Structure 1
């Protein structure tokens, strides 16, 4: 993406690492998201995570992965220029009962399966799938973002890393380690929350990570819409398969077999890949505040993104 970014910006959100602004590419008029991360606040921890994320996102170019256009720095901040998601992150929908239909959740699940399939094929363990890391674009399609805790996968991993609510039970076993199956456990948590607006093992109460881990290993999975004598639907079976405690029997362990599940019966993954399926988004675009206060963007050419981070 050649040319300079505009310095007239709109504030979108503030996250744990920095602030996100909507900016416009001066040549093409394309709207982009600019993430600004202050160096002074995080120093070494930030440097390792952001440089790692930059390298992974530049390397990944799948249709279900948020594109990182450019990464650069000045003496004060780090800057990441990426695709702008009109509807923000998926968490906005998870908090609204009228946000997504069951069929739309199924279509989102298919896209996330395609995204994870691509990430794993690139020998990357994602490790942080959650609603706030899935962005919803103007056409209703979703993409996976934020690779700060991802890693190149060369066998078993044993680092306790990610967001506790979405961690698979085997991640606590740092001796034996874990594999790619943890990403499918997280997918199960995401789908459950999108459908039922709560965590399957947490309930309504706020509990600590250790208590949550205990619940994950001891509490039986249940569904609010299933009575004692009701039969499980393919949706229930699919989520239960993703939330299988034993990773050796978890859906997704054998790669492409997940797409053959009855949950996706009648669905064309090729049509979704080609964006031939229409989505209805029952949510207004993410709000932003117009501002002209941000005038610190360097005069750089985003066609040469790799050079701007090399010295950091």
Structure 2
């Protein structure tokens, strides 16, 4: 079921988007140009932005809903650099407005707003509309993360990553129009199944591995990999969603963000980090899919952090030896030994014996039979795989004084 070597179909080639990079010398006369989010820096100059997503509060949240975050402040000096590479992304504003859609029902809620199922008045197709409240974003110091999410989604194009079609805003909210993925979260499927058999976990891990490899090729760190952020499409293939913590990082970054169970030790200890944090999270994800729980879980978040930094990695007796080996190499506190962070990068992960039977070209082309096909009625806006949320009165489209519009110019 996992690999079908008999099918000899031609592999589709991906067209990588053009990334716009701007090299800006950092001098006194150019300090107002050193960061795309200069307005944010002025707004939040008294503190560094650091966010940790609360997993417990997300267990009933939907695919595209924003991370439920609490903010903490860490005083640290940024690294001395002579230049800074910026990612501009593609223009996404101006293509749509509220009159283009019918808002049908809520798919999920979060700290910043909610996600709705919508239907286009033009082509009749269903989409997801992510709505974020400007005031709440500013209050929780998530302006930079929100702008980064728009930029990242505007340039990515991959079979296993959700697609954003456009953005717009009113005086109080910002809106992102995205694919509607009918199959729901892998999180929900995992909770129903308790844990996945080795071949099933391997199937999902292979598709996610390719998504991470693609993002890293564009110098994008995802930073919030977990079952809640992995959706299943109508055929059972994965779609990585929620880019609220994704960031363009050609070298290193310092921001503390993520979900406690999945945060890498170098992030917990506030050290500079790079793409290697995604491979640590990838290992945690595989572990949870196989075991039904994360390796360092504790009801006390601080104790979870302590375990991430110091606790030995233990495996259930039913784990396959190859699974133990790849997890030992991914969930490795030594960055010089962590799989994915070595000389051959993601290729080392793909070449590991646990993935020995995987035909990667066929995985990328979605030619491998999926282990589970969501029980949905395709193309009909089926929401059976999503929980019901109380509907609330909405004021979308309201025109009044916009105190924060200057922070979200790209929407």
- In the superposition, the TM-score normalised over structure 1's length comes to 0.85
Question: RMSD of aligned C-alpha atoms?
Answer: 2.7
Give the counterpart of 1:102 among 198, 201, 204.
198
Structure of higher RCO (CA pairs closer than 8 Å, 6+ residues apart): 1
C-alpha spacing 1:292/1:109, structure 2 compared with 1 (3 Å) = closer
Structure of larger gyration radius = 2
Say if 2:179 is the partner of 1:88.
no
Deviation of 1:89 (Å)? 1.9
Match runs of 1:5-44 below 5 Å: 5-43=100-138
Q: Secondary structure at the match of 2:358?
A: coil
Q: Which consecutive aligned stretches of 4+ in structure 1 deviate over 4 angstroms post-superposition?
A: 1-4, 282-285, 288-298
Say if 2:290 is the partner of 1:189.
no
Are the equivalent residues in 2 in contact too, given 1:9–1:21 (CA < 8 A)? yes
Q: Secondary structure at the match of 1:143?
A: strand
Partners of 1:108 and 1:28 in 2: CA distance:
32
Are the equivalent residues in 2 in contact too, given 1:11–1:288 (CA < 8 A)? no
Would you tell me which structure has more helix in proportion to its own residues? 1
Partners of 2:334 and 2:162 in 1: CA distance:
31
Partners of 1:260 and 1:165 in 2: CA distance:
26
Equivalent residue number for residue 259 of structure 1: 350
- In the superposition, the TM-score normalised over structure 2's length comes to 0.65
Partners of 2:359 and 2:243 in 1: CA distance:
28
Partners of 1:48 and 1:217 in 2: CA distance:
28
Deviation of 1:57 (Å)? 0.7
Q: Secondary structure at the match of 1:7?
A: strand
Equivalent residue number for residue 302 of structure 1: none
C-alpha spacing 1:70/1:296, structure 2 compared with 1 (3 Å) = farther
Match runs of 1:1-312 below 5 Å: 5-43=100-138, 45-97=141-193, 100-175=196-271, 177-202=272-297, 205-209=298-302, 211-226=303-318, 233-253=321-341, 254-281=345-372, 284=375, 285-287=384-386, 310=409
Q: Secondary structure at the match of 2:336?
A: helix
Are the equivalent residues in 2 in contact too, given 1:93–1:100 (CA < 8 A)? no
Q: Structure 1: any 5+ residue segments left out of the alignment?
A: 299-308
Partners of 1:148 and 1:275 in 2: CA distance:
26
Are the equivalent residues in 2 in contact too, given 1:109–1:191 (CA < 8 A)? yes
Are the equivalent residues in 2 in contact too, given 1:9–1:290 (CA < 8 A)? no
Equivalent residue number for residue 27 of structure 2: none
Partners of 2:291 and 2:145 in 1: CA distance:
33
Query: Would you say how many aligned residue pairs link Structure 1 and Structure 2?
Result: 295
Deviation of 1:66 (Å)? 0.9
Are the equivalent residues in 1 in contact too, given 2:102–2:120 (CA < 8 A)? no
